[in-house]
């Protein structure tokens, strides 16, 4: 079976923490099947003119995608120019990206044969599947990950959006909440939407310190994500500041980069918090397990989130988690023994959840948390669901 997979990004030397779950998913699909996978990766050449990339280039040379050690996986660059100046220019950029994909897919089919299925991640990639279906009649499936569905669709007419989703053989949502959003916003019939969560490498992410959660005097809290408003990281910093001011032994590590980084550093300096809160910056996904192992608890205080990969990565390492009920993470923390959830409408929700979890921390079992995570989110489970979907939709 020949599968084309359309993705909006890929981890690389320049951006090692950018969408690493695509490489992990496709690597696990290839290990478990005889399929050939051609991966069409969006590559905006506009990045070559950014100062951050120029610094990287002079220090490291040309950027390189993270490779997958498999003969049946081919990574294909889809080069286009991104013009982020207005909605019109963004729409023009997306149209160019779509056309670049279509031309590459057609050329690849001419050389190596027709695809049995096209798997599109996110709506922009789904447009590729839709347009190629109209051009060549190839079946396509869509996996939707968007944390803010309405924002990702705001360039297009309602009729066009419905056509893109409804022409697909099936639509996959990564959480139950997103499934309901797709039904509500787009009007897709619920029967057409499957829920397949993101997976986790449970060999890479594992327990190293025994069956019980750690019992040190200072509880080490971990945040992993982009330092942007939607992730709620600044709220977490302020809540931890409050706990410290009330003599609660807690230490916060922040892993990630983003526009709020400088503002948070300034806050730490003004309030003399540097010995209690640390910003480590961005790190590659393969280094995350060793960082998770140093901590007791993960917190994901996002305003919107379609799933929450970091929550299952932490769970595979045996860590409980506190998450906001913002779309997807609450699906993961579905039992009390996994951690705690709180409502975004409750202004004290994060604070109270931290107090609650810290007060009964010794009751959490790393073994139970990991077993639950493995049974629901390991690639043995998730990859088989995706491959079964391929079989059904190509039969």
> How would DSSP label each residue in 321-375?
EEEE-SBSHHHHS-SGGGEEEE-TT-TTHHHHHHHHHHHTGGG-BHHHHHHHHHH
Q: Compute the average pLDDT of residues 26-39.
A: 94
| H or E element in which residue 42 lies | strand 36-44
DSSP codes joined into one string, 73-97: EEEEEEEE---TTSHHHHHHHHHHH
Cα–Cα distance, 6 to 4 (Å, whole number)? 7
What pLDDT does residue 20 have? 85
pLDDT band at residue 48 using 50, 70 and 90 as cut-offs: low
pLDDT confidence of residue 54? 66
Task: Give the N- to C-terminal CA distance of the chain in Å, as an integer.
Answer: 11
Find the mean pLDDT for residues 139-164.
Answer: 87
Beta bridge pairs of residue 6: 40, 120
CB atoms under 10 Å from CB of 295, counted, come to: 21
Percent of all residues in the chain with a pLDDT value above 90, rounded to a whole number:
75
Share of the chain above pLDDT 70, in %: 92
Contact call for residues 66 and 16 (beta carbons, < 8 A): yes
Considering only residues 97 and 211, tell me which one the structure prediction assigns the higher pLDDT: 97
Q: What pLDDT does residue 92 have? A: 81
Query: What domains are defined for the chain?
Result: 2-199+379-394 (3.40.50.2000), 219-377 (3.40.50.2000)
Q: How far apart are CA 258 and CA 279, in angstroms?
A: 11
* Residue 126, pLDDT above cutoff 60: yes
Average pLDDT value for residue range 210-228: 78
Q: What is the pLDDT of residues 89-121, one digit of tens each?
A: 777 888 889 999 999 999 999 999 999 999 999
pLDDT of residue 212: 47
Q: For residue 155, what pLDDT band results from cuts at 50, 70 and 90?
A: confident
What's the chain's average pLDDT? 91
pLDDT digits (tens, 9 = 90+) for 238-270: 999 999 999 999 999 999 999 999 999 999 999
| pLDDT at residue number 246 | 95
Res 49: pLDDT: 65
Query: What is the three-class DSSP state of 172?
Result: strand
Band of residue 58 on the pLDDT scale cut at 50, 70, 90: low
Nearest to 373 by CA among 322, 338, 324, 329: 338
Burial class for 1, CB neighbours closer than 10 Å (0-12, 13-18, 19+)? middle
Nearest CA-CA partner of 225 in 313, 158, 152: 313
pLDDT surpasses 80 at 41? yes
């Amino acid at each position: 079976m020949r599968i084309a997979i359309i993705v909006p990004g890929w981890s690389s030397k320049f951006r090692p923490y950018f969408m690493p779950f695509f490489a992990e998913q496709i690597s696990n699909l290839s290990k478990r099947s005889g399929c050939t996978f051609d991966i069409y990766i969006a590559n905006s050449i506009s990045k070559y003119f950014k100062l951050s990339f120029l610094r990287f280039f002079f220090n490291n040379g040309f950027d390189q995608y993270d490779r997958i050690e498999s003969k049946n996986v081919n990574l294909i660059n889809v080069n286009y120019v991104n013009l982020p100046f207005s909605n019109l220019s963004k729409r023009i950029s997306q149209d160019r990206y779509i056309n670049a994909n279509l031309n590459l897919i057609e050329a690849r089919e001419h050389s190596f044969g027709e695809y049995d299925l096209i798997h599109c991640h996110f709506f922009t990639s789904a447009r590729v599947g839709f347009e190629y279906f109209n051009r060549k009649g190839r079946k396509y499936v869509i996996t939707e990950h968007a944390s803010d569905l309405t924002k990702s669709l705001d360039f297009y007419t309602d009729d066009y959006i419905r056509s893109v989703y409804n022409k697909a053989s099936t639509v996959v949502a990564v959480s139950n909440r997103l499934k309901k959003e797709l039904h509500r916003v787009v009007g897709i019939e619920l029967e057409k939407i499957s829920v397949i969560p993101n997976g986790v490498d449970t060999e890479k992410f594992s327990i190293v310190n025994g069956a019980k959660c750690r019992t040190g005097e200072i509880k080490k809290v971990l945040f992993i994500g982009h330092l942007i408003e939607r992730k709620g990281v600044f709220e977490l910093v302020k809540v931890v500041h409050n706990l410290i001011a009330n003599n609660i032994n807690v230490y916060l590590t922040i892993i990630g980069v983003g526009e709020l980084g400088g503002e948070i550093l300034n806050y730490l300096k003004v309030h003399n918090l540097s010995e209690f809160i640390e910003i480590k910056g961005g790190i590659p996904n393969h280094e995350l397990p060793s960082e998770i192992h140093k901590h007791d608890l993960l917190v994901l205080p996002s305003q919107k989130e379609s799933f929450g990969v970091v929550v299952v990565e932490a769970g595979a390492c045996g860590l409980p988690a506190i998450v906001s009920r913002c779309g997807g993470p609450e699906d993961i923390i579905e039992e009390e023994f996994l951690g705690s959830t709180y409502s975004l409408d409750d202004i004290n929700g994060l604070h109270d959840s931290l107090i609650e979890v810290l007060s009964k921390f010794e009751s959490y079992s790393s073994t139970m948390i990991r077993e639950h995570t493995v049974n629901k989110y390991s690639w043995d489970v998730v990859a088989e669901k995706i491959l079964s979907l391929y079989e059904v939709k190509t039969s």
